[in-house]
Amino acid sequence: MTDLILTPNIAKADDFYASLLSAHEGLSKEDSDAFNARLILILANHIGDSAVIEAALEAAKQ
Amino acid sequence: MNKIFETPLYGYRRHADQDMTTPATHTVAIIGAGPVGLATAIDLAQHGIKSVVLDDNDKVSFGSRAICFAKRTLEIADRLGFGDPLVDKGVVWNLGKVFFDDRKVYEFNLLPEDGHKRPAFINLQQYYFEEYLVRRARELDIDIRGKSKVTSVVPGEDHVTLDVDTADGPYQIQADWVIACDGAGSPTRSMMGLDFVGRVFEDNFLIADVTMDAEFPTERWFWFDPPFNRGQSALLHKQPDGVWRIDLQLGWDIDKEEEKKPENVIPRLKAMLGDDVNFELEWVSIYTFQCRRMEKFRHGRVIFAGDSAHQVSPFGARGANSGLQDVDNLGWKLAAVIKGQAQDALLDTYDIERIHGADENILNSSRSTDFITPKSDTSRIFRDAVLDLSEKYAFARPLVNSGRLSMPCSYDGMPLNGVDAVPDAPARSRPGMPCPDAPYQGEYLLSHLGGTFTLLALNTKCPEDIKIDGFTISTIGACTKEAAHHALAERYLGDAQQAVYLIRPDQHVVARWPEYDETAVKDAIKTALGENL
């Protein structure tokens, strides 16, 4: 089992952030919310490991 | 149109008990002649135990009600001797389609595994299910008393006293045991002042059973947020006799009496089916539901089974199907206690095992309800995202929840289980699991199991007709090298070379070993009879 990575793990952090924002550009609040939901589901499935997902849910709570 | 539910099947007849000066005594009284009550009477009768069944009505249930009967229920019905008419009459279906808005997002196939006597599901009106039960009960000479309303239940130290009201006035009987199968609104539960707590779902569903000449395929169609029922869900499912079940979610703030009127129902159905489809209404009902259970199902000599003990949302067909699993679990235990083969404590394991089953059903059906009726904006956003993704990506399809269809309950880690000494054998037949069916000696395995404890010996020998503590243990066996026993080997041996299984009267696995060992089998039977509790 892998632990949830909470240290920098994206090589080009600024590029990632820019892509994330540009994906939302021009979307209504409703469409953005739907986009985010789809993205979370896709990423969660990619991770798959339920312990990592649980740890991520915990980390996001702050 | 079928009007079986308007014909009295067990009309009131005066009974000699009504002329007694002191109350007649019975071993078992069953309150309620619905599916659970009648099946209990039949199971007990097959164990040689007489019972009297009391019902305030005299006919099968009104309207189609429960319509989906799962494979495990059919297997239990086989053991109780009324499986064939169910399957002969029922509609077998495997394909389900899921629609979102105005498009089909995906379809699923239940893909039944080969080598089982019974299909994954059949659709059948509850009134047929009850009619076949009544017929089977008649074969066994079961005393069903219609229009006999139980008005008081008074538990005593060694018996229970019941007041029964009839057209000829009231009378009393005494019973050693009372099984309360009187439904979600259980009068017995109220009379005994017992709890029934859980979660109420603020929603209404319109059920319309219609006969129509339209050619819809024999599939389960489920809509989320369709154009003809905006913001709500809908279901279309086929029953025998050209009857279709239509289920439309209506939301919370509605006038039930208004919505039930044909002039309001018909336009809704036309919007769904199209203007050109001719249909006739057979039955219309509006229901709300709760997910709840009693804290305990056993209260001394009064035992609750089926909806009287637990209630779930209809998604997943877990109501009647779980009720039949209650019967399956209770029948042999009560019979063993009555015959003095087991201690009273065995009945406490009915509580343990079936409360576990009820909790599993409540969990599953609550989750389905939360998916079908999102409780917040965010949950609706995720629900819609799942449905959108499911159209394109397979990963999202297991997240779509229009009902997790009833699967038999496993009694993992429960006190009646023995050892699992065959680590290479498959998990699906581990102790606590209901035995999976498989072709066996030109028939099916499950036809050879049940009613008594059975030893199943695969590629090894067991002595025949073993007697343990007055029990005759039946022994069956097979060599799995034959091609015809391929499924048997796959489902019971896996990577193991040989095994001996001990199987309960309700076809659940007690224990398994690599070979027969008399002491081990004796110990396991003692455990399964609750002697180590």
The class of domain B4-91+115-196+291-363 in CATH terms is alpha beta
pLDDT digits (tens, 9 = 90+) for B83-118: 999 999 999 988 899 999 999 999 988 878 899 999
The answer to whether the Cβ–Cβ distance between A42 and B389 falls below 8 Å is yes
pLDDT at residue A1, as a whole number: 59
* Domain layout of chain B by residue ranges: 4-91+115-196+291-363, 198-290, 427-528
pTM of the complete model beyond 0.90: yes
Question: Pick the residue with more confidence: B406 or B238?
Answer: B238
Chain B residues with CB under 8 Å of A37 CB are: 381-382, 384-385
With CA atoms as reference, report the closest residue to B527 among B512, B510, B508: B510
Given a cut of 50, whether residue B521 has pLDDT beyond it is yes
Q: Where are the alpha helices (DSSP H) in B99-212?
A: 126-139, 187-191
Confirm whether B4-91+115-196+291-363 and B198-290 share one CATH topology: no
Query: Quick check: A58 contacting B, CB < 8 Å?
Result: no
Query: How many Å apart are CA B78 and CA B89, to the nearest integer?
Result: 14
**Cβ separation of A34 and B385 shorter than 8 Å?**
yes
Q: Please determine, for residue B2, whether its predicted confidence score (pLDDT) is greater than 60.
A: no
Residue A41 to residue B386, Cβ atoms within 8 A? yes
Q: Is B442 exposed, middle or buried (0-12, 13-18, 19+ CB in 10 A)?
A: exposed
Lowest-confidence segment of A38-42, B165-169, B210-214, B466-470 by average pLDDT: B466-470
Angle between helices B71-80 and B320-338 (to 10 degrees): 40
Q: Best residue in B378, B382, B384, B390 to probe A by mutation, most A CBs within 10 Å? A: B382
Query: Binning pLDDT at 50, 70 and 90, where does residue B289 land?
Result: confident
Q: What is the ipTM of this complex?
A: 0.97
**Chain A residues in contact with B395 (beta carbon < 8 A):** 42, 45
Question: Residue A47 sits in which domain range?
Answer: 27-61
Q: Is the Cβ of B230 closer than 8 Å to some Cβ of chain A?
A: no
Which residues on A lie below 8 Å from B382 (Cβ)?
37, 40-41
Give percent of chain A above pLDDT 90: 95
Average pLDDT estimate for B135-149:
97
A33 to chain B: closest CA residue: B381
The reply to whether residue A34 touches residue B389, judged by beta carbons under 8 angstroms, is no
Q: What is the CATH number of domain B427-528?
A: 3.40.30.120
Residues 132-191 of B with CB under 8 A from A: none
Question: Looking at this protein, which amino acid is placed at residue B516?
Answer: Y
pLDDT at B213: 79
Q: How many Å separate Cα B260 from the centre of its chain?
A: 28
Residue of chain B with shortest Cα separation from A40: B382
Identify the CA nearest to B289 among candidates B254, B255, B252. B252
The predicted pLDDT at position B495 comes to: 96
CA distance A41 to chain B (A): 8
A27 reaches B (C-beta below 8 A): no
Q: Which residues of A touch B381 (CB under 8 A)?
A: 33-34, 37
pLDDT digits (tens, 9 = 90+) for A1-18: 589 999 999 999 999 999
Contact with chain B for residue A28, Cβ under 8 A? no
- Residue A47 forms part of a structural domain: yes
Report whether pLDDT(B370) > 60.
yes
Distance from CA of A44 to the nearest CA of B (A): 10
CA distance B392 to chain A (A): 12
User: What is the DSSP secondary structure assignment for residue B399, as one 8-state letter?
Assistant: G
Across chain B, mean pLDDT equals 93
Q: Which of A34, A40, A42 sits opposite B384 (nearest CB)?
A: A34
Q: Where are the beta strands (DSSP E) in B110-253?
A: 121-123, 143-145, 149-155, 160-165, 171-180, 197-212, 220-224, 233-239, 243-251
Instruction: Judge whether B533 is closer than 8 Å to chain A, CB to CB.
Output: no
Nearest CA in chain A to B389: A38
Could you tell me if B379 lies within 8 Å of chain A, comparing CB atoms? Answer: no
Assess if residue A1 is contained within a domain: no
A54: left (phi over 0), alpha (psi -120 to 50) or beta: alpha
| The dihedral formed by the CA atoms of B520, B522, B528 and B533, expressed in degrees to the nearest 10 | -90
Residue A15 lies in a domain: no
For B517, phi then psi, to 5°, come to -140, 115
B211 has which bridge partners? B243, B280
pLDDT at B1: 44
Average per-residue pLDDT for chain A: 96
- Asked if the structure places residue A4 within a domain, the reply is no
Measured in angstroms, the CA of B100 and the nearest CA of chain A are apart by 15
The dotted CATH code for B198-290 is 3.30.9.10
Nearest to B381 among A37, A42, A45 (CB): A37
Question: What values do phi and psi take at B173, rounded to 5?
Answer: -135, 160
> Mean pLDDT: which of B4-18, B22-36, B477-491 is highest?
B22-36
Using a CB-CB cut-off of 8 Å, the residues of chain B touching A42 are: 389, 393, 395
Nearest to B384 by CA among B174, B101, B25, B53: B101
* Pairwise CB contact (< 8 Å): A37 & B384: yes
Pairing of strands B302-304, B243-251: unpaired
Q: Which residues does chain B have within 8 Å of residue A32's beta carbon, measured at their own beta carbons?
A: none
Report yes or no on A35 lying in a domain: yes
Position B44 scores a pLDDT of 98
Q: Which of A36, A40, A45 to mutate to test the interface with B (most CBs of B within 10 A)?
A: A45
The alpha carbon of residue B389 is apart from the nearest alpha carbon of chain A, in Å, by 7
**φ/ψ (deg, to 5) at A31:** -70, -35
Q: Is residue A51 part of a domain?
A: yes
